[in-house]
Amino acid sequence: MKDLRRYLVLKYIQYLVLSSRNAASTFLGLLGSTYSLLLLQSAKVSSKSTTVLISSIAKADVLVAVCVVSDLIIWTFDVNVSSTALMSALLRNLLTANTHISCLLLSCIAFEAYLITFFPMESRHVRTVRNAKQTARIIWILVIAECVIFLMEDFLKANSASAFISSHCTWLSHFSGRAADLLRSLSYFLGIFLRIVNVYFYYKIFFSMYSPK
C-alpha cells in the first residue's frame, strides 16, 4: 500500500498540481501506472474500493501510451499528421480523456479518504467494490461521450468545405460546436472546483490526524 500511496501522490501532482504536461511527468506517470497494475495483481493487495479506483486510474494511462507510441511512429517514419486533421484530433482527445478521467477518479479517492477519516462506520455501505466499479464505469462513459462530441466538432470543421456537410449537416455542426464549447467551459470550472475540493479534503484529514486529542 505504501507504493500505491506514492503512486497516488505522483498522480495528484501530475493532474491536480501541474498546470500542463511535460515529458518527465508523462514518463513517470506511465512508469508508475505500469508498476501499479502489476502490483494490483498481487495476492497481497486486497480488493477494496480504493484499489479499484487506483486500478482505473492506471488503466487510463493506456490512452497516454497510445499517444506516445503514435508520436514515436510519426517521428520515426516522418508522417505528416497536419494533413490528417482527424488523426491529430483523435490523439489530442485521448490525452483530454486521460486527464479528465484521472482527475475525477482522484477526486473520488480523496472523497473516500474523507469519509474513512470522519464517517468510517456510516459510510461503509457506500465504500464498496461494487460502487467503486460503477463509479469508474460511469466516469469512463461520460468522458468518452465528451470526447466523441469534441471529435465530431473537429471532423465537421475539417470537412466544412464539403458540399455534403454544408447542405445536410449544418444543424449537426451547429449542435456539436455549441456542445463542445459548453463542455470546455464546464471542464474548466469543474477542474478548478475539483482542485479546491481536493485541497479541502486533505486539509481536513491532515489536521484531524495531527491535531492534539
**Domains identified in the chain, total number:** 1
Side chain identity, residue 124: R
Q: Would you state the pLDDT for residue 75?
A: 75
Least confident of 11-20, 56-65, 74-83, 188-197: 74-83
- Written as nine digits, the cell of 149 is 462530441
Q: Is the pLDDT of residue 76 over 90?
A: no
Query: For residue 121, which phi and psi values (nearest 5 degrees)?
Result: -80, -45
- d(CA 62, CA 30) in angstroms, rounded, equals 8
The position carrying cell 464546464 is: 186
pLDDT (tens digit per residue) in 88-143 = 888 889 999 999 999 999 999 999 999 999 999 999 999 999 999 999 999 999 99
Domain of 33, in residue numbers: 2-210
Mean pLDDT computed over every residue of the chain: 85
Which tops the pLDDT comparison, 98 or 46? 98
Q: Would you state the pLDDT for residue 163?
A: 47
Q: Residues with Cβ < 8 Å from 6, sequence gap 6 or more? A: 32
Q: Is the pLDDT of residue 57 over 90?
A: yes
Give 165's pLDDT tier (boundaries 50, 70, 90): low
Find the mean pLDDT for residues 148-161.
76
- Whichever domain contains 146, its CATH number is 1.20.1070
